[in-house]
Amino acid sequence: MKNDTIAGVSTAVGNSGISVIRLSGPEAFLIADKVFRGKNTVSDQKSHTIQYGKIISDTNEVMDEVLLSKMEAPRTYTREDVVEISSHGGYTIAVSLLNLLYKHGARPAEPGEFTKRAFLNGRIDLSQAEAVMDIIQARTQRVSKVAVRQLEGSVSQILNEIREKIIILLSNIEVNLDYPEYDAEEVTLVQAGKETEGIIVELEKLINSFHFGKLLREGMEVVITGRPNVGKSSLMNRLTRKNRSIVTDIPGTTRDTIEEFVNIKGIPVKLVDTAGVRETLDQVEQQGVERSIKAIKDADLVVVLVDLSQGFISEDKILLNKVLEHNKPYVLCFNKTDLIKDKASINEMSETYSDAIFMSISENKGVDELEERIFGFATENSQDIDNQVLITNARHEHQLKKAKEYLESALKACDLKMSLDMVALDLKVALEELGKITGHHADQDVINAIFSRFCLGK
Protein backbone atom coordinates (compact mmCIF):
# COMPACT_ATOMS: atom_id res chain seq x y z
CA MET A 1 0.00 0.00 0.00
CA LYS A 2 1.26 3.47 -0.88
CA ASN A 3 2.31 5.37 2.24
CA ASP A 4 1.14 8.74 0.99
CA THR A 5 -1.77 11.11 1.61
CA ILE A 6 -4.81 11.04 -0.64
CA ALA A 7 -7.67 13.48 -1.15
CA GLY A 8 -11.07 13.20 -2.78
CA VAL A 9 -14.62 14.52 -2.74
CA SER A 10 -16.80 12.16 -0.70
CA THR A 11 -20.08 13.76 -1.74
CA ALA A 12 -21.59 13.94 -5.20
CA VAL A 13 -20.12 16.76 -7.27
CA GLY A 14 -22.70 19.37 -8.21
CA ASN A 15 -24.91 22.07 -6.73
CA SER A 16 -25.66 21.15 -3.11
CA GLY A 17 -25.68 22.51 0.41
CA ILE A 18 -22.21 21.20 1.24
CA SER A 19 -19.33 19.25 -0.27
CA VAL A 20 -17.19 17.01 1.93
CA ILE A 21 -13.54 16.68 0.95
CA ARG A 22 -11.60 13.93 2.68
CA LEU A 23 -7.85 13.70 3.35
CA SER A 24 -6.29 10.46 4.58
CA GLY A 25 -2.67 9.60 5.22
CA PRO A 26 0.40 10.45 7.30
CA GLU A 27 0.54 14.10 6.17
CA ALA A 28 -3.18 14.85 6.34
CA PHE A 29 -2.82 17.27 9.29
CA LEU A 30 0.27 19.03 7.87
CA ILE A 31 -1.38 19.56 4.48
CA ALA A 32 -4.57 20.84 6.13
CA ASP A 33 -2.51 23.31 8.20
CA LYS A 34 -1.13 24.84 4.99
CA VAL A 35 -4.59 25.78 3.70
CA PHE A 36 -6.81 26.18 6.80
CA ARG A 37 -7.05 29.16 9.14
CA GLY A 38 -9.07 28.70 12.33
CA LYS A 39 -8.89 29.33 16.05
CA ASN A 40 -6.38 26.48 16.34
CA THR A 41 -4.04 24.86 13.87
CA VAL A 42 -5.17 21.45 12.69
CA SER A 43 -2.11 19.89 14.35
CA ASP A 44 -3.15 21.37 17.73
CA GLN A 45 -6.86 20.62 17.32
CA LYS A 46 -8.20 17.81 19.48
CA SER A 47 -9.02 14.56 17.73
CA HIS A 48 -12.62 13.91 16.72
CA THR A 49 -13.62 17.56 17.00
CA ILE A 50 -14.87 20.12 14.49
CA GLN A 51 -13.80 23.73 14.17
CA TYR A 52 -14.90 26.62 12.00
CA GLY A 53 -12.39 28.38 9.77
CA LYS A 54 -11.46 29.50 6.29
CA ILE A 55 -9.58 28.00 3.38
CA ILE A 56 -6.84 30.37 2.23
CA SER A 57 -5.37 30.28 -1.27
CA ASP A 58 -1.67 30.62 -2.13
CA THR A 59 -2.31 34.29 -2.81
CA ASN A 60 -3.71 34.68 0.72
CA GLU A 61 -7.31 35.04 -0.49
CA VAL A 62 -10.27 33.46 1.26
CA MET A 63 -11.60 30.65 -0.92
CA ASP A 64 -14.43 29.49 1.35
CA GLU A 65 -15.72 29.30 4.90
CA VAL A 66 -15.66 25.70 6.10
CA LEU A 67 -16.00 23.27 8.99
CA LEU A 68 -12.97 21.03 9.50
CA SER A 69 -13.12 17.66 11.26
CA LYS A 70 -9.94 16.09 12.60
CA MET A 71 -9.64 12.36 13.36
CA GLU A 72 -6.43 10.79 14.55
CA ALA A 73 -5.46 7.23 13.68
CA PRO A 74 -6.39 4.50 14.39
CA ARG A 75 -9.97 5.54 15.27
CA THR A 76 -10.85 6.53 11.72
CA TYR A 77 -12.46 5.00 8.64
CA THR A 78 -9.08 4.19 7.08
CA ARG A 79 -7.15 3.73 10.36
CA GLU A 80 -4.98 6.62 9.15
CA ASP A 81 -5.01 10.29 10.11
CA VAL A 82 -8.11 11.76 8.48
CA VAL A 83 -9.33 15.31 7.83
CA GLU A 84 -12.75 16.09 6.44
CA ILE A 85 -13.48 19.59 5.13
CA SER A 86 -17.15 20.54 4.79
CA SER A 87 -17.28 23.38 2.28
CA HIS A 88 -20.14 24.99 0.42
CA GLY A 89 -21.48 22.76 -2.31
CA GLY A 90 -20.72 23.36 -5.96
CA TYR A 91 -18.39 22.05 -8.62
CA THR A 92 -16.12 25.11 -8.73
CA ILE A 93 -15.44 25.22 -4.98
CA ALA A 94 -14.80 21.47 -4.73
CA VAL A 95 -12.36 21.41 -7.64
CA SER A 96 -10.53 24.51 -6.39
CA LEU A 97 -10.10 23.04 -2.89
CA LEU A 98 -8.90 19.71 -4.26
CA ASN A 99 -6.36 21.38 -6.55
CA LEU A 100 -5.07 23.38 -3.59
CA LEU A 101 -4.63 20.18 -1.53
CA TYR A 102 -2.88 18.46 -4.44
CA LYS A 103 -0.51 21.40 -4.73
CA HIS A 104 0.47 21.04 -1.07
CA GLY A 105 1.32 17.33 -1.22
CA ALA A 106 -1.83 15.22 -1.46
CA ARG A 107 -2.58 13.12 -4.51
CA PRO A 108 -5.98 12.31 -6.07
CA ALA A 109 -7.64 9.30 -4.45
CA GLU A 110 -8.36 6.40 -6.78
CA PRO A 111 -11.90 4.94 -6.96
CA GLY A 112 -12.63 3.20 -3.66
CA GLU A 113 -9.18 3.93 -2.25
CA PHE A 114 -10.39 5.14 1.16
CA THR A 115 -12.27 1.85 1.65
CA LYS A 116 -9.33 -0.07 0.18
CA ARG A 117 -7.07 1.44 2.84
CA ALA A 118 -9.60 0.47 5.51
CA PHE A 119 -9.33 -3.12 4.22
CA LEU A 120 -5.54 -3.16 3.90
CA ASN A 121 -5.17 -1.64 7.37
CA GLY A 122 -7.33 -4.41 8.87
CA ARG A 123 -10.35 -2.34 9.85
CA ILE A 124 -12.71 -4.34 7.63
CA ASP A 125 -12.38 -7.51 5.57
CA LEU A 126 -13.01 -7.80 1.84
CA SER A 127 -16.65 -8.88 2.12
CA GLN A 128 -17.37 -5.91 4.41
CA ALA A 129 -15.68 -3.57 1.93
CA GLU A 130 -17.95 -4.84 -0.84
CA ALA A 131 -20.94 -4.23 1.42
CA VAL A 132 -20.04 -0.53 1.51
CA MET A 133 -20.76 -0.22 -2.21
CA ASP A 134 -23.93 -2.29 -1.81
CA ILE A 135 -25.18 0.25 0.75
CA ILE A 136 -24.49 3.10 -1.65
CA GLN A 137 -26.25 1.35 -4.54
CA ALA A 138 -29.18 -0.06 -2.52
CA ARG A 139 -32.51 0.49 -4.31
CA THR A 140 -34.77 -0.34 -1.36
CA GLN A 141 -34.68 -0.17 2.43
CA ARG A 142 -34.62 -3.96 2.68
CA VAL A 143 -31.55 -4.14 0.40
CA SER A 144 -29.87 -1.45 2.49
CA LYS A 145 -30.64 -3.37 5.68
CA VAL A 146 -29.01 -6.54 4.33
CA ALA A 147 -25.94 -4.59 3.18
CA VAL A 148 -25.58 -2.89 6.57
CA ARG A 149 -25.64 -6.29 8.31
CA GLN A 150 -22.91 -7.46 5.94
CA LEU A 151 -20.86 -4.34 6.71
CA GLU A 152 -21.29 -5.14 10.41
CA GLY A 153 -19.82 -8.57 9.69
CA SER A 154 -22.75 -11.00 9.40
CA VAL A 155 -21.21 -12.84 6.44
CA SER A 156 -17.69 -12.52 7.81
CA GLN A 157 -18.70 -13.98 11.17
CA ILE A 158 -20.29 -17.12 9.78
CA LEU A 159 -17.45 -17.64 7.29
CA ASN A 160 -14.85 -17.23 10.03
CA GLU A 161 -16.74 -19.77 12.15
CA ILE A 162 -16.70 -22.24 9.25
CA ARG A 163 -13.02 -21.56 8.57
CA GLU A 164 -12.25 -22.10 12.26
CA LYS A 165 -13.90 -25.54 12.12
CA ILE A 166 -11.77 -26.49 9.12
CA ILE A 167 -8.62 -25.15 10.80
CA ILE A 168 -9.29 -27.17 13.97
CA LEU A 169 -9.94 -30.32 11.95
CA LEU A 170 -6.79 -29.73 9.89
CA SER A 171 -4.63 -29.10 12.96
CA ASN A 172 -5.87 -32.30 14.63
CA ILE A 173 -5.17 -34.32 11.48
CA GLU A 174 -1.68 -32.86 11.08
CA VAL A 175 -0.81 -33.46 14.74
CA ASN A 176 -1.72 -37.14 14.24
CA LEU A 177 0.31 -37.30 11.02
CA ASP A 178 3.40 -35.38 12.10
CA TYR A 179 3.59 -36.21 15.80
CA PRO A 180 2.10 -39.67 16.32
CA GLU A 181 4.11 -40.10 19.52
CA TYR A 182 2.12 -37.33 21.27
CA ASP A 183 -0.85 -38.30 23.39
CA ALA A 184 -3.34 -36.48 21.15
CA GLU A 185 -6.80 -37.70 20.33
CA GLU A 186 -6.57 -39.71 17.13
CA VAL A 187 -8.58 -38.38 14.21
CA THR A 188 -10.16 -41.23 12.28
CA LEU A 189 -11.45 -41.12 8.72
CA VAL A 190 -14.97 -41.62 10.06
CA GLN A 191 -14.62 -38.65 12.40
CA ALA A 192 -13.05 -36.44 9.70
CA GLY A 193 -15.83 -37.39 7.28
CA LYS A 194 -18.56 -36.60 9.80
CA GLU A 195 -17.11 -33.15 10.59
CA THR A 196 -16.56 -32.39 6.89
CA GLU A 197 -20.15 -33.36 6.10
CA GLY A 198 -21.41 -30.93 8.75
CA ILE A 199 -19.35 -28.12 7.25
CA ILE A 200 -20.76 -28.88 3.79
CA VAL A 201 -24.30 -28.54 5.15
CA GLU A 202 -23.45 -25.07 6.50
CA LEU A 203 -22.00 -24.01 3.14
CA GLU A 204 -25.09 -25.25 1.31
CA LYS A 205 -27.29 -22.98 3.43
CA LEU A 206 -25.23 -19.98 2.37
CA ILE A 207 -25.16 -21.05 -1.29
CA ASN A 208 -28.93 -21.57 -1.34
CA SER A 209 -29.48 -18.07 0.05
CA PHE A 210 -27.92 -16.57 -3.10
CA HIS A 211 -31.19 -16.96 -5.07
CA PHE A 212 -32.86 -14.33 -2.92
CA GLY A 213 -29.67 -12.41 -2.18
CA LYS A 214 -28.96 -11.87 -5.88
CA LEU A 215 -32.48 -10.61 -6.49
CA LEU A 216 -32.11 -8.20 -3.59
CA ARG A 217 -28.75 -6.84 -4.73
CA GLU A 218 -29.26 -6.71 -8.49
CA GLY A 219 -33.03 -6.53 -8.76
CA MET A 220 -35.50 -9.04 -10.11
CA GLU A 221 -36.44 -8.79 -13.80
CA VAL A 222 -40.15 -9.29 -14.43
CA VAL A 223 -41.30 -9.24 -18.05
CA ILE A 224 -44.93 -8.47 -18.92
CA THR A 225 -45.85 -10.19 -22.17
CA GLY A 226 -48.97 -11.00 -24.14
CA ARG A 227 -50.78 -10.33 -27.39
CA PRO A 228 -51.31 -6.71 -28.47
CA ASN A 229 -53.93 -4.74 -26.55
CA VAL A 230 -54.40 -7.18 -23.66
CA GLY A 231 -53.48 -4.53 -21.05
CA LYS A 232 -49.69 -4.88 -20.68
CA SER A 233 -49.03 -1.14 -20.64
CA SER A 234 -51.96 -0.55 -18.28
CA LEU A 235 -50.53 -3.15 -15.90
CA MET A 236 -47.11 -1.52 -16.14
CA ASN A 237 -48.63 1.82 -15.20
CA ARG A 238 -50.53 0.29 -12.27
CA LEU A 239 -47.43 -1.38 -10.86
CA THR A 240 -45.23 1.70 -11.28
CA ARG A 241 -47.98 4.03 -10.01
CA LYS A 242 -47.39 6.37 -12.94
CA ASN A 243 -48.10 6.67 -16.65
CA ARG A 244 -44.85 5.12 -17.83
CA SER A 245 -46.30 3.34 -20.87
CA ILE A 246 -48.60 4.77 -23.55
CA VAL A 247 -52.07 3.20 -23.40
CA THR A 248 -54.43 3.22 -26.40
CA ASP A 249 -57.02 0.93 -27.94
CA ILE A 250 -54.82 0.58 -31.03
CA PRO A 251 -53.04 -2.82 -31.13
CA GLY A 252 -49.26 -2.57 -31.50
CA THR A 253 -48.87 0.81 -29.76
CA THR A 254 -45.83 -0.40 -27.80
CA ARG A 255 -43.04 -1.00 -30.32
CA ASP A 256 -40.10 -1.44 -27.95
CA THR A 257 -39.44 -2.71 -24.44
CA ILE A 258 -39.99 -0.16 -21.67
CA GLU A 259 -38.16 -0.66 -18.36
CA GLU A 260 -38.83 0.75 -14.93
CA PHE A 261 -37.63 -0.17 -11.41
CA VAL A 262 -40.27 -0.51 -8.71
CA ASN A 263 -40.19 -1.45 -5.05
CA ILE A 264 -42.41 -4.44 -4.26
CA LYS A 265 -42.33 -5.03 -0.50
CA GLY A 266 -38.65 -4.15 -0.31
CA ILE A 267 -37.67 -6.16 -3.40
CA PRO A 268 -36.20 -4.08 -6.24
CA VAL A 269 -38.03 -5.22 -9.38
CA LYS A 270 -37.22 -4.20 -12.94
CA LEU A 271 -40.50 -4.30 -14.83
CA VAL A 272 -40.24 -4.73 -18.58
CA ASP A 273 -43.27 -3.81 -20.70
CA THR A 274 -42.88 -5.54 -24.06
CA ALA A 275 -44.38 -5.14 -27.49
CA GLY A 276 -47.38 -7.34 -28.18
CA VAL A 277 -46.32 -10.72 -29.58
CA ARG A 278 -48.11 -11.59 -32.80
CA GLU A 279 -47.44 -12.31 -36.46
CA THR A 280 -47.02 -9.00 -38.30
CA LEU A 281 -45.74 -7.63 -41.62
CA ASP A 282 -44.80 -4.29 -40.06
CA GLN A 283 -40.98 -4.33 -39.90
CA VAL A 284 -40.81 -1.94 -36.95
CA GLU A 285 -43.40 -3.92 -34.98
CA GLN A 286 -41.60 -7.15 -35.92
CA GLN A 287 -38.39 -5.82 -34.33
CA GLY A 288 -40.41 -5.07 -31.21
CA VAL A 289 -41.72 -8.65 -31.17
CA GLU A 290 -38.17 -10.00 -31.48
CA ARG A 291 -37.06 -7.85 -28.55
CA SER A 292 -40.02 -9.13 -26.56
CA ILE A 293 -38.90 -12.73 -27.14
CA LYS A 294 -35.35 -11.83 -26.07
CA ALA A 295 -36.73 -10.15 -22.93
CA ILE A 296 -38.56 -13.38 -22.07
CA LYS A 297 -35.29 -15.32 -22.40
CA ASP A 298 -33.53 -12.93 -19.99
CA ALA A 299 -36.35 -12.65 -17.44
CA ASP A 300 -36.36 -14.00 -13.89
CA LEU A 301 -40.16 -14.20 -14.00
CA VAL A 302 -42.66 -13.74 -16.85
CA VAL A 303 -46.18 -12.35 -16.46
CA VAL A 304 -48.30 -13.76 -19.30
CA LEU A 305 -51.31 -11.49 -19.76
CA VAL A 306 -54.46 -12.71 -21.53
CA ASP A 307 -57.58 -10.76 -22.58
CA LEU A 308 -60.28 -12.94 -21.02
CA SER A 309 -63.02 -11.09 -22.93
CA GLN A 310 -61.62 -12.67 -26.10
CA GLY A 311 -61.02 -16.05 -24.50
CA PHE A 312 -57.82 -18.04 -24.12
CA ILE A 313 -57.15 -18.25 -27.87
CA SER A 314 -54.47 -20.13 -29.82
CA GLU A 315 -52.15 -17.09 -30.00
CA ASP A 316 -52.14 -16.91 -26.20
CA LYS A 317 -51.30 -20.59 -25.94
CA ILE A 318 -48.49 -20.26 -28.52
CA LEU A 319 -46.98 -17.42 -26.48
CA LEU A 320 -47.27 -19.44 -23.26
CA ASN A 321 -45.48 -22.32 -24.98
CA LYS A 322 -42.64 -19.95 -25.92
CA VAL A 323 -42.25 -19.11 -22.24
CA LEU A 324 -42.25 -22.81 -21.36
CA GLU A 325 -39.69 -23.53 -24.12
CA HIS A 326 -37.24 -21.24 -22.35
CA ASN A 327 -38.03 -22.94 -19.04
CA LYS A 328 -39.07 -19.65 -17.45
CA PRO A 329 -41.23 -19.40 -14.33
CA TYR A 330 -44.38 -17.50 -15.09
CA VAL A 331 -47.63 -16.12 -13.72
CA LEU A 332 -50.69 -16.48 -15.95
CA CYS A 333 -53.04 -13.50 -15.63
CA PHE A 334 -56.50 -13.22 -17.18
CA ASN A 335 -57.38 -9.54 -17.58
CA LYS A 336 -60.61 -7.64 -18.32
CA THR A 337 -62.84 -9.74 -16.07
CA ASP A 338 -65.03 -6.63 -15.77
CA LEU A 339 -66.13 -7.18 -19.40
CA ILE A 340 -67.37 -10.71 -18.72
CA LYS A 341 -71.09 -10.76 -18.06
CA ASP A 342 -71.32 -14.52 -17.51
CA LYS A 343 -69.46 -14.85 -14.19
CA ALA A 344 -69.94 -18.63 -14.27
CA SER A 345 -67.46 -18.80 -17.14
CA ILE A 346 -64.85 -17.15 -14.92
CA ASN A 347 -65.43 -19.82 -12.27
CA GLU A 348 -64.97 -22.53 -14.89
CA MET A 349 -61.71 -20.96 -16.08
CA SER A 350 -60.47 -20.63 -12.50
CA GLU A 351 -61.02 -24.36 -11.95
CA THR A 352 -59.07 -25.18 -15.11
CA TYR A 353 -56.28 -22.69 -14.39
CA SER A 354 -56.17 -22.75 -10.61
CA ASP A 355 -52.79 -20.97 -10.40
CA ALA A 356 -53.88 -18.10 -12.65
CA ILE A 357 -54.80 -14.62 -11.43
CA PHE A 358 -58.11 -13.19 -12.63
CA MET A 359 -57.90 -9.43 -12.75
CA SER A 360 -59.41 -6.22 -14.00
CA ILE A 361 -56.59 -3.73 -14.38
CA SER A 362 -59.01 -0.91 -15.18
CA GLU A 363 -60.71 -1.50 -11.80
CA ASN A 364 -57.39 -2.24 -10.06
CA LYS A 365 -58.51 -5.75 -9.15
CA GLY A 366 -55.94 -8.53 -8.93
CA VAL A 367 -52.91 -6.21 -9.08
CA ASP A 368 -52.20 -6.66 -5.36
CA GLU A 369 -52.38 -10.43 -5.80
CA LEU A 370 -49.84 -10.22 -8.63
CA GLU A 371 -47.49 -8.21 -6.42
CA GLU A 372 -47.86 -10.89 -3.71
CA ARG A 373 -47.01 -13.57 -6.30
CA ILE A 374 -43.92 -11.67 -7.47
CA PHE A 375 -42.78 -11.20 -3.87
CA GLY A 376 -43.45 -14.87 -3.11
CA PHE A 377 -41.34 -15.98 -6.06
CA ALA A 378 -38.44 -13.77 -4.98
CA THR A 379 -38.52 -14.99 -1.39
CA GLU A 380 -39.14 -18.70 -1.96
CA ASN A 381 -37.11 -20.99 0.32
CA SER A 382 -36.21 -18.03 2.54
CA GLN A 383 -37.26 -18.80 6.10
CA ASP A 384 -36.40 -15.43 7.64
CA ILE A 385 -35.35 -12.99 4.93
CA ASP A 386 -34.97 -10.06 7.31
CA ASN A 387 -32.63 -11.79 9.77
CA GLN A 388 -30.89 -14.71 8.09
CA VAL A 389 -27.39 -14.33 6.64
CA LEU A 390 -27.71 -13.84 2.88
CA ILE A 391 -25.13 -14.19 0.14
CA THR A 392 -25.77 -11.33 -2.29
CA ASN A 393 -22.49 -11.27 -4.22
CA ALA A 394 -21.84 -13.57 -7.21
CA ARG A 395 -18.12 -13.66 -6.34
CA HIS A 396 -18.93 -14.98 -2.88
CA GLU A 397 -21.25 -17.65 -4.27
CA HIS A 398 -18.54 -18.76 -6.72
CA GLN A 399 -15.97 -19.15 -3.95
CA LEU A 400 -18.45 -20.99 -1.71
CA LYS A 401 -19.18 -23.47 -4.49
CA LYS A 402 -15.47 -24.05 -5.09
CA ALA A 403 -14.88 -24.58 -1.37
CA LYS A 404 -17.79 -27.03 -1.29
CA GLU A 405 -16.28 -29.00 -4.20
CA TYR A 406 -13.02 -29.50 -2.29
CA LEU A 407 -14.87 -30.41 0.88
CA GLU A 408 -16.87 -32.98 -1.07
CA SER A 409 -13.59 -34.32 -2.44
CA ALA A 410 -12.28 -34.60 1.14
CA LEU A 411 -15.48 -36.39 2.17
CA LYS A 412 -15.11 -38.80 -0.75
CA ALA A 413 -11.52 -39.49 0.32
CA CYS A 414 -12.81 -40.39 3.77
CA ASP A 415 -15.50 -42.69 2.33
CA LEU A 416 -12.90 -44.43 0.13
CA LYS A 417 -10.65 -44.87 3.18
CA MET A 418 -7.79 -42.96 1.60
CA SER A 419 -4.96 -41.56 3.74
CA LEU A 420 -5.61 -38.62 6.05
CA ASP A 421 -2.97 -36.52 4.30
CA MET A 422 -5.09 -36.66 1.12
CA VAL A 423 -8.07 -35.46 3.14
CA ALA A 424 -5.95 -32.67 4.61
CA LEU A 425 -4.88 -31.53 1.15
CA ASP A 426 -8.48 -30.93 0.04
CA LEU A 427 -9.34 -29.26 3.34
CA LYS A 428 -6.47 -26.78 2.89
CA VAL A 429 -7.64 -25.76 -0.58
CA ALA A 430 -11.22 -25.38 0.67
CA LEU A 431 -9.89 -23.12 3.44
CA GLU A 432 -8.09 -20.96 0.87
CA GLU A 433 -11.22 -20.65 -1.30
CA LEU A 434 -13.24 -19.41 1.68
CA GLY A 435 -10.41 -17.03 2.57
CA LYS A 436 -10.72 -15.38 -0.83
CA ILE A 437 -14.16 -14.08 0.18
CA THR A 438 -12.93 -12.26 3.28
CA GLY A 439 -9.51 -11.38 1.85
CA HIS A 440 -7.38 -13.84 3.81
CA HIS A 441 -6.13 -15.37 0.55
CA ALA A 442 -7.36 -12.91 -2.10
CA ASP A 443 -5.15 -12.18 -5.13
CA GLN A 444 -4.02 -8.58 -5.60
CA ASP A 445 -5.66 -8.46 -9.04
CA VAL A 446 -9.00 -9.46 -7.48
CA ILE A 447 -8.66 -6.80 -4.79
CA ASN A 448 -7.85 -4.11 -7.36
CA ALA A 449 -10.78 -5.17 -9.56
CA ILE A 450 -13.22 -4.98 -6.63
CA PHE A 451 -12.19 -1.49 -5.53
CA SER A 452 -12.02 -0.15 -9.10
CA ARG A 453 -15.83 -0.44 -9.21
CA PHE A 454 -16.20 1.94 -6.26
CA CYS A 455 -17.05 5.60 -6.68
CA LEU A 456 -14.42 8.28 -6.16
CA GLY A 457 -14.15 9.52 -2.59
CA LYS A 458 -15.32 6.29 -0.92
Dump pLDDT digits (tens) for 342-361: 878 788 888 888 899 999 99
Q: Which residues pair with 23 in a beta bridge?
A: 7, 83
Query: Which of 84-88, 126-130, 260-264 has the largest mean confidence?
Result: 84-88
87: domain CATH number is 3.30.1360.120
179 and 222 together in one domain: no
189 and 254 together in one domain: no
H helical segments located in 109-223: 113-120, 126-137, 141-151, 154-178, 189-208, 210-218
How sure is the predictor about 255, in pLDDT bands with cuts at 50, 70 and 90? Answer: very low
Q: Residue 454 in contact with residue 444, Cβ under 8 Å?
A: no
SS3 of 102, please? helix
Question: What crossing angle do the helices spanning 189-208 and 420-438 adopt, rounded to 10°?
Answer: 30
226 and 154 together in one domain: no
Tell whether 57 is covered by a domain: yes
Q: How far apart are the first and last CA of the chain?
A: 17
Tell whether 287 is covered by a domain: yes
pLDDT at residue 162, rounded to an integer: 95
pLDDT at residue 385, rounded to an integer: 60
How sure is the predictor about 398, in pLDDT bands with cuts at 50, 70 and 90? Answer: very high
pLDDT at residue 198, rounded to an integer: 95
225: domain CATH number is 3.40.50.300
Burial class (CB in 10 A: 0-12, 13-18, 19+), 346: middle
H helical segments located in 6-106: 28-35, 91-103
226 and 361 together in one domain: yes
* Weakest mean pLDDT among 94-98, 152-156, 383-387: 383-387
How sure is the predictor about 408, in pLDDT bands with cuts at 50, 70 and 90? Answer: very high
Q: Residue 274 in contact with residue 223, Cβ under 8 Å?
A: yes
Non-local CB neighbours of 398 within 8 Å, separated by 6+ positions = none
Non-local CB neighbours of 444 within 8 Å, separated by 6+ positions = none
pLDDT at 186 over 80: no
pLDDT at residue 286, rounded to an integer: 52
> What is the mean predicted confidence (pLDDT) over 172-182?
66
Burial class (CB in 10 A: 0-12, 13-18, 19+), 280: middle
Q: Residue 378 in contact with residue 212, Cβ under 8 Å?
A: yes
Instruction: Indicate the residue among 324, 356, 378 that finishes a domain.
Output: 378
pLDDT at residue 13, rounded to an integer: 74
pLDDT at 30 over 90: yes
Provide the Cα torsion 305, 306, 307, 308; round to 10°: -130
Tell whether 457 is covered by a domain: no
User: Concatenated DSSP letters for 229-255?
Assistant: TSSHHHHHHHHHTS--S---SSTT---
362 and 438 together in one domain: no
Q: How far apart are CA 179 and CA 417, in angstroms?
A: 21
175 and 316 together in one domain: no
Q: How many domains does the chain have?
A: 3
pLDDT at residue 433, rounded to an integer: 95
Instruction: Indicate the residue among 334, 357, 378 that finishes a domain.
Output: 378
Tell whether 70 is covered by a domain: yes
Q: How far apart are CA 105 and CA 34, in angstroms?
A: 10
401: domain CATH number is 1.20.120.430
Q: What is the overall mean pLDDT for the chain?
A: 86
pLDDT at residue 315, rounded to an integer: 84
Tell whether 458 is covered by a domain: no
- Spacing of C-alpha 147 from chain mean position: 8
233 and 349 together in one domain: yes
pLDDT at residue 351, rounded to an integer: 85
205 and 237 together in one domain: no
pLDDT at 280 over 50: no
360 and 300 together in one domain: yes
Q: Which residues pair with 69 in a beta bridge?
A: 50, 84
Phi, psi (degrees; rounded to nearest 5) at 419: -70, 155
How sure is the predictor about 243, in pLDDT bands with cuts at 50, 70 and 90? Answer: low
What percentage of the chain reaches a pLDDT higher than 70? Answer: 88
Q: How far apart are CA 123 and CA 79, in angstroms?
A: 7
CA-based nearest residue to 263, from 148, 128, 374? 374
Q: Which domain holds residue 56?
A: 6-109
299 and 232 together in one domain: yes
Task: Give CA angle at 304 (367, 308), nearest 5°.
Answer: 75
